[in-house]
Amino acid sequence: MKALKTKISRRAFLHGAALTTAGLAVAACTSATPTAAPTSAPKPAEPSATTAPTQAAEATTAPTEAVASSSADSMFPKGDPRRWLLDRPVPAPKKYDNLVITQNYDMNQGIKFNGNDTISDNVMSRYLKEEIGVYYEPKWACKGSETCPTAWSTAMAADDLPEFFTWLGGVNLGKLLDADRLEDITDIWETTASDLTKKNKEYPTGQIYVPITKGGRIYGIPFSNGGYAAHDSLLWVRQDWLDELGLKMPDTLDDLYNVAKAFKEKKQLTMGISAAGSEGMATWNSSLDPFFGAFGVMPTYWVKTGDGKLAYGSTLPGNTDALTVLANWFKEGLIEPEFVTKGAAKAAENLAGNKAGMYFAPSWSPGWPLPDSKKNDPKADWVSGRVPAGPTGQRGRAAFQVAGSTCAFLKGIDPIKIEAVINHLNWIYDMQAASVIGSHVKVEGIDYVEENGEVKAGIGTTAEFYEGGAGYPTWYYPAMEQMTDEKMNQLLKADPKTLNPYLLYTVNDPDGISTKTRAANSLKFQTMDDQIVNQFIGAPTATMTEAGARLEKIEREAYIKIITGGAPVSDWEKFVADWKSQGGDKITEEINAWWLSHQ
């Protein structure tokens, strides 16, 4: 169940991140931290510069020259993509001589290729070959949550394993580690990883090393959590409808109920809140996790209890309160009858089609799917709010985690390849640290294209390509990826003429995506106490593997039946008893043994 949760989360992320970038979400991704006045759009004084970066670029007579005058750009020759964003030189990366490393491509759904580009020869692979002399050759590829779990299973069954694994986690990681098929990288990591890399990867004390440590040695490079909370739910509400109906941003579950009811009735909607029910209670769009958080519980999460042990969140009291609320919402038609058949991606169509005025989703929502909502209803003005408080003032949201996923190397791999990957990572972190807006480096042709001095959105983001498309040994970005006040203010104060078109775009934010995302992120980071964290990040235990499918079934069935009125709330007790007797008690023992050994 934890395994499944992890799987869902990470796939969800890929999906989400991919879709985020469907629009011009480059800005959304790079901006994250509090700004003083998040709602007032920061903009330079010149009116012509406020509309779009392209016009701004035209306003300055020769845009490329204006760019060249910025100190950041003078360090790099014209045409070098790095000149866009770095404010100091980055040491040249260690270059290898046509090193080929096979890798599984767990591809981001949003990845698109230009023209004749293919998965094995594209703008990213050429960029990496040129810069570091490494080619990450696809061993096999999968895309999206439908194909990836199956692709992994068949690859494991056929022993069709790459030299370099990305997105390795859960049961796959456990099996590879048990079968001694992963290479011990401790020594190479110690000598090759830069201090900055070690710091960003929380080495050696980070909890993220737990799943890949065996006998005091590490067998992979873990993805870092960094408190990024990438997919934590926030409340998103149509502000224009609130204003129209004279309502306030809901703060409690009762407020939420009133607004949902008012929206459904006064706006003639088919639902009060958009909900996704086929993937469990916590997911990455139209999630229901804040309903449970309002009563201090989180289904499927292993949480610390009073006695210091871990307990399974679905079996703790408080679930019944949340289920009572949800059943009532369903009965009154505030949750649509189809929510059971909808996963997160499908439920997002509710927003694009403006069938709902409220939903729970991550801070990156302004990048996706909300632009679609606006496209279909230009008046749509979505704002973010904190997850609602329950009757006792309690709030809670499912903390998104990637801990448990990792990069690793197949046993017997040439050590120079491990070194090359770590050096690649060092280089990425160096560039991030030197970036003007704390962003990942942007690659021309991926993140943006420049035509006649105009900057336009590219085919995606470099990060997206790295994550699934080409050996990306780091996930997720450390805090530096987030736009800070300081950096934003620096940009705001600057003479627009000295900013290159890309930065102008970030500052002007013509679509409002960057500003809204920054506001949501700011809210998210100010309310980190709302997070309910899953403490179990190990590989699935023996009983989890054998009984997991069955237990997940009875859990989902019980929750959905109760919400849809097919069973009374009291049936939750029966579920808990079944869960415990059909393997849950044994799993709890195993989990606590793991917990004890990792304290």
Partner 1 sequence: MGVAKATSSSIAKPSAKAVRSWRVKRKLPLYLMLVPALIGLVLFHYYPMYGIVIAFQKYEPLLGFQKSPWVGFYQFELLFSQPDIWEMLRNTVTIAVGKITFGQVASLVFALLLHEVRIPWFKRTIQSLSYVLHFLSWVIFGGMLLDVLASQGIINNALAAIGLARLAFLTNASVFQPTMIFSEVWKEFGFGAVIFLAALTGIDPTLYEAAAVDGASRWKRMLHVTLPGIAPTIVLMVTLSLGGVLNAGFEQILVLYNPAVYATGDIIDTYVYRAGLLGLQFSLGAAVGLLKGIISLVLIALSYYLADRIANYRIF
Q: Which residues bind partner 1 (CB under 8 A)?
A: 3-4, 146, 149-150, 153, 156-159, 171-172, 175-176, 178-179, 181, 270, 277-278, 336-338, 340-341, 346, 540, 545-546, 548-550, 552-553, 556-557, 559-561, 564, 566, 582
Closest CA to 136 of 173, 158, 172, 162: 162
Residue among 3 and 27 whose Cβ is closer to partner 1: 3
Q: Are 309 and 271 in contact (CB under 8 A)?
A: no
Q: Which is nearer to partner 1, 181 or 440 (CB)?
A: 181
Q: Which is nearer to partner 1, 126 or 553 (CB)?
A: 553
The C-alpha angle 456, 459, 463, rounded to 5 degrees, equals 105
What whole-number distance in Å separates Cα of residue 312 and Cα of residue 305? Answer: 10
Min. distance of Cβ 351 from partner 1 in angstroms?
16
Run of H or E including 106: strand 99-107
Of 391 and 566, CB closest to partner 1: 566
In the complex, the smallest distance separating the C-beta of residue 157 from partner 1, rounded to whole angstroms, is 5
Looking at the Cβ atoms of 352 and 479, the one nearer to partner 1 is 352
Tokens encoding 23 = 């629009």
Task: Give the single-character DSSP code of 273.
Answer: S
| Range list of β-strands (E), 357-412 | 358-361, 382-385, 397-398, 405-409
State in Å, rounded, how far the first CA of the chain is from the last one: 22
With respect to partner 1, which residue has the nearer C-beta, 291 or 448? Answer: 291
Cβ at position 560, least distance to partner 1 in Å:
4
Least distance in Å: CB of 258 to partner 1?
24
CB of 171 to partner 1, least distance (A): 5
3 state SS of 214? strand
Cβ proximity to partner 1, 172 vs 521, nearer residue: 172
Q: Which tokens is 486 given? A: 């300081």
As a whole number of angstroms, the distance between CA 175 and CA 156 comes to: 9
**By C-beta, is 94 or 346 nearer to partner 1?**
346
Tokens of 573: 């007790």
Residue found under tokens 């210091």: 308
Q: Which is nearer to partner 1, 327 or 463 (CB)?
A: 327
Closest separation between CB of residue 236 and partner 1, Å?
23
> DSSP labels for 44-112?
-S-HHHHH-HHHHHHHSS-HHHHHHHSHHHHTS-TT-GGGGTBSS--PPPPP-SSEEEEEEEEE-TT--
Closest approach of partner 1 to the CB of residue 182, in Å: 10
C-alpha torsion angle, residues 384, 390, 393, 396 (rounded to 10): -60
List the beta strands (DSSP E) in 270-371.
302-304, 310-312, 358-361
Which is closer to partner 1, CB of 279 or CB of 419? 279
Q: How far is the CB of 10 from partner 1 (least distance, A)?
A: 14
- The DSSP element (H or E) to which 220 belongs, if any, is strand 220-222
Nearest distance, CB of residue 412 and partner 1, angstroms: 13
Distance CA 11, CA 541 (A): 21
- The least distance separating partner 1 from the CB of residue 564, rounded to whole angstroms, comes to 6
Q: What does the alpha-carbon distance between residue 75 and residue 431 come to, in Å, rounded to a whole number?
A: 13
How many Å apart are CA 302 and CA 313, to the nearest integer? 6
Q: What is the smallest separation between the CB atom of 562 and partner 1, expressed in angstroms? A: 11
Maximum pairwise Cα distance, the chain:
75
In the complex, least distance from residue 406 CB atom to partner 1, rounded to whole angstroms: 17
Nearer of residues 219 and 466 to partner 1, judged by Cβ: 219
Q: 3-state DSSP: the chain helix, strand, coil percent, rounded to 5? A: 45, 15, 40
Q: Which is nearer to partner 1, 549 or 593 (CB)?
A: 549
Please return the burial class of 112, using the count of CB atoms within 10 Å of its CB with bins 0-12, 13-18 and 19+.
Answer: middle
8 Å CB contact between 194 and 176: no
Using DSSP's 3-state secondary structure scheme, residue 41 falls into coil
